[in-house]
């Protein structure tokens, strides 16, 4: 059976859903694809993520300490950085200097105790009360005037070689007599010190009150390089600790990589991995928020169930203004409407501005320009009575303009 060409029915293909419609229908899929694309872009463009942590030896920015580590390595000193105290595992404490970046860490008492028991030399970049108390009972830290140039004025060879340095925001003070075998250097005008070296039975405890002298942009100033490098370069290796809120571990050392048994942890410590768990929960909550979010979309007009007269809306708005005692806002609205009607009556375009409108009104009514300016553009009335008087005067002005 043949079908005539004139009897054939042709059906046009319907357009499929757009990408926007698909995104609205499956937002989680598109969010996942966007995150995947961002991760791939980061991995492709950066083979290694940049380190911007303060005083990190891998940070080459001005606030990093890469220059110190590089110079020490050039002098044959091995330098490694740890972000967890439990990762230190220092095998030979007597030949390893421990550097504690105290300015960027918030050490608990248990962590401070484990560090204070380290049987080797420690250099503190920045001050902590626990570290000073462990080194000497009469050592304290106070606020100082930063940026002042101070001279060594002591017999410590490292300080003498440096000659000068600059103060930071903190300084070392003496509560009574200086501890035995303590050398305090670089005094400031307030009686504090920028450097202290205390010899203990476990090893030297060196305090650099201004940690910024070890940064890449400050190392070459004054004697910062000499003071920093001589304090850290006495032994064959350096273990550099830059901590974070996530670290709840204690320092490890010895042949077996464990601290002595007398170092006990704080029972109030958060369990290991708490920070990672909180981060994962936060990420899950964020994804759930994207998934369950509702898009408001564009505004649409909706017919009201009843017809509201314009006079009723005007009276309702007036009652709201009166209840709020917003005489200034009410007067500004009335003045604007009067000026608009007068301008339309006199044929004054809006581009003419205030000067053009005042000139047209004074020319038409014969009034003084200052009086008209005070009526239309003067200060708001002080109370409702003054506002009503102003409204009457505006009504009189408008009636004069509308007179033939």
Q: Does the pLDDT at position 369 exceed 60?
A: yes
* 107-121, 288-302, 361-375: segment of lowest average pLDDT: 288-302
Neighbours of 35 (CB within 10 A): 12
Is 238 within 8 Å of 157 (Cβ atoms)? Answer: no
Angle between helices 384-402 and 327-346 (to 10 degrees): 0
Please write the tens of the pLDDT for every residue from 212-232. 999 999 998 988 999 999 999
Q: Among residues of the chain, what percentage have pLDDT more than 90? A: 20
CATH number of 66-259: 3.40.50
- The whole-chain average pLDDT of the chain stands at 80
Domains of the chain: which residue ranges?
A: 19-49, 66-259, 310-402
Q: Does the pLDDT at position 190 exceed 90?
A: no
Average pLDDT score over residue span 306-325: 81
Q: Return the sign of the alpha-carbon dihedral for residues 203, 204, 209, 212.
A: negative
Please write the tens of the pLDDT for every residue from 15-48. 555 666 665 666 666 677 778 788 777 766 555 5
pLDDT of 50 reads 60
Instruction: Say what the alpha-carbon torsion angle 139, 143, 147, 150 is, to the nearest 10 degrees.
Output: -30
pLDDT band at 208 (very low <50, low <70, confident <90, very high): very high
Q: Does the pLDDT at position 158 exceed 70?
A: yes
Is 276 within 8 Å of 137 (Cβ atoms)? Answer: no
Q: Does the pLDDT at position 258 exceed 60?
A: no
């Amino acid at each position: 059976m043949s079908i005539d060409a004139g009897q054939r029915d042709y059906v046009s293909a319907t357009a499929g859903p757009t990408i926007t419609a698909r995104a609205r229908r499956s937002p989680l899929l598109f969010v996942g694809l966007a995150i995947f694309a961002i991760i791939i872009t980061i991995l492709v463009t950066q083979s290694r993520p940049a380190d911007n942590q303060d005083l990190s030896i891998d940070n080459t920015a001005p606030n990093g300490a890469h220059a110190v580590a590089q110079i020490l390595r050039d002098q044959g000193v091995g330098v490694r950085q740890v972000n967890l105290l439990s990762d230190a595992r220092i095998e030979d404490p007597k030949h390893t200097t421990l550097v504690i970046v105290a300015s960027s860490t918030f050490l608990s008492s248990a962590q401070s105790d484990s560090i204070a028991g380290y049987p080797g030399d420690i250099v503190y970049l920045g001050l902590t009360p626990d570290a000073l108390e462990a080194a000497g009972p009469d050592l304290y830290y106070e606020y100082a005037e930063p940026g002042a140039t101070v001279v060594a004025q002591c017999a410590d060879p490292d300080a003498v070689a440096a000659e000068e340095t600059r103060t930071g925001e903190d300084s070392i003070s003496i509560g009574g007599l200086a501890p035995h075998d303590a050398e305090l250097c670089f005094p400031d005008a307030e009686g504090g010190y920028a450097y202290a070296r205390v010899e203990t039975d476990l090893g030297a405890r060196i305090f650099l009150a201004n940690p910024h002298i070890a940064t890449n942009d400050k190392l070459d100033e004054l004697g910062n390089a000499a003071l920093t490098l001589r304090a850290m370069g006495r032994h064959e290796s350096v273990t550099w600790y830059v901590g974070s809120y996530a670290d709840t571990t204690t320092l490890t050392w010895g042949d077996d990589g464990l601290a002595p048994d007398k170092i006990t942890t704080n029972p109030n410590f958060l369990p290991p991995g708490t920070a990672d768990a909180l981060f994962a929960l936060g990420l899950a909550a964020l994804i759930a928020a994207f998934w369950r979010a509702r898009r408001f979309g564009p505004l649409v007009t909706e017919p009201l169930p009843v017809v509201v007269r314009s006079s009723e809306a005007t009276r309702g708005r007036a009652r709201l203004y009166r209840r709020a005692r917003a005489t200034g806002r009410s007067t500004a609205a009335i003045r604007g409407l009067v000026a608009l009607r007068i301008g339309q009556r006199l044929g004054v375009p809006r581009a003419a501005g205030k000067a053009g409108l005042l000139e047209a009104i004074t020319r038409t009514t014969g009034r003084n320009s200052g009086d008209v300016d005070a009526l239309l553009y003067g200060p708001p009335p002080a109370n409702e009575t003054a506002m009503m008087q102003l409204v009457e005067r505006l009504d009189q002005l408008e009636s004069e303009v509308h007179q033939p």
